[in-house]
Amino acid sequence: MERTNYYSRGMDNIKGMEVVNGRIWVTNAGSMNGAPGDTIIRFDTNGSNLGFIDTAGESSFDIVDAGNGEVYISYINTATKIERRDYDGNILGNIVNPGVKFLFSKWPSIRITIRCMQLYLV
């Protein structure tokens, strides 16, 4: 996992944002404006760039802080997975494995998916 500080670089094609354990995580999919491509860019609450988490060329869509030391990240490319990461950005596994077709596949928001899963997990 690469973590690099990009204090003078921008963001491009952002879709999701979440406050995760006191830090702001933003999905980034483009490389215009000097943005780092398919990554999750992190900031502190003062707006200082804390670097990024490389998503290995996969386009992340949305982020949810599960509140238990885990973060759920959905993807919108061919993977269409929902991934679990810890607060340091390390991959813990998947909630939903790659290739699963969601009912709302045109809008694969993790917020919709998580709420639907909660109906069955409770």
pLDDT (tens digit, 9 = 90+) per residue, 70-114?
Answer: 999 988 876 678 899 999 999 999 988 776 665 544 444 445 444
Residue 1 in any domain: the answer is no
Domain for residue 9, yes or no?
no
Residue 5: inside a domain: no
How far apart CA 119 and CA 105 sit, in angstroms, is 19
pTM of the model: 0.74
Per-residue pLDDT of 15-44, as tens digits, reads: 889 999 999 999 998 888 888 888 999 999
The answer to whether the CB of 55 falls within 8 A of the CB of 38 is yes
Is there a domain that residue 26 lies in?
yes
User: Which CATH number does the domain housing residue 35 bear?
Assistant: 2.120.10.30
- 27 domain-assigned: yes
Residue 103: the pLDDT is 52
In a domain, residue 12? The reply is: no
Domain ranges, residue 113: 17-121
Question: Structurally, how many domains does the chain consist of?
Answer: 1
